[in-house]
Structure 1
Amino acid sequence: MFNKLKQVKDLRDKAKHLQNMLADEKVEGSAAWGKVKIQMNGNQQILNVDVDPELLKESEQNRLQDAIRDACNDAVKKAQRKMVEKMRASGDLNVPGLT
């Protein structure tokens, strides 16, 4: 039983270490031909939203909202890929089903 508890603690420590490493990773998602950009860290926290002023002039609200949503989704996918890369690189966080 103590062995299982130690394994759980080790896994928790490794996950915390991975989370700290991912906080330093930055990814950028974009949409609307690069006119909307979202920067997020590897923990999928949005750091910055950049909207080209030209898009604000020419765009209607729905189009801008769609572009922001698409850029967020793009950034999330990239952050998830970074997480998988870091987990694979650590070699000791083998989680079934990760692709």
Structure 2
Amino acid sequence: MQAKIAKMQEDLRQKTVEATSGGGMVRVTCNGQQEILGIAIDPELLEEKDVEMLQDLILVAVNEALKRSRELAQEELAKITGGLSIPGL
């Protein structure tokens, strides 16, 4: 089972999830290892020069991407463990 989990963790590094905020004006890509791979900001949003709004939109998109990444990891782990909860994983 340890080998399967190690393989799953490596596979998660290759899988990505994406989250958006502001109607798609901010887009964050994250892998299954909860690493942020990219942040894209619509140039129109920068023209508004509302720093607080931009910060909020980035925060929302990053948190959603990390949440989706954790969910992806849990789904993949459930495939290996058959849904059993294993402490520490």
What interval of TM-score do these two structures reach, taking the shorter chain for normalisation?
Answer: 0.7 to 0.9
TM-score by length of 2: 0.85
Counterpart CA distance in 2 for 1:49 and 1:34 is: 12
Unaligned runs of 5+ residues in structure 1 are: 1-9
Q: Does 1:19 align with 2:24?
A: no
TM-score by length of 1: 0.77
Which runs of at least 4 in structure 1 moved beyond 6 Å after TM superposition? none
Residue in 2 aligned with 1:76? 66
Q: Does 1:90 align with 2:80?
A: yes
The residue type equivalent to 1:24 in the other structure is Q
Counterpart CA distance in 1 for 2:33 and 2:49 is: 31
Aligned residues, how many?
87
Between structure 1 and structure 2, the one with the greater Rg is: 1
The residue type equivalent to 1:28 in the other structure is E
SS across alignment from 2:53: helix
Counterpart CA distance in 2 for 1:16 and 1:56 is: 41
- Equivalences for residues 29-48 of structure 1 within 5 A: 29-48=19-38
Is contact 1:87-1:94 (8 Å) kept?
no
Counterpart CA distance in 1 for 2:84 and 2:11 is: 17
Q: Does 1:50 align with 2:73?
A: no
SS across alignment from 1:50: strand
Counterpart CA distance in 1 for 2:8 and 2:49 is: 40
Give CA deviations for 1:18-63 in whole Å, capped at 9, x if unaligned: 2101111100011111100000100010111000000111141111
Q: CA deviation at 1:78?
A: 0.7
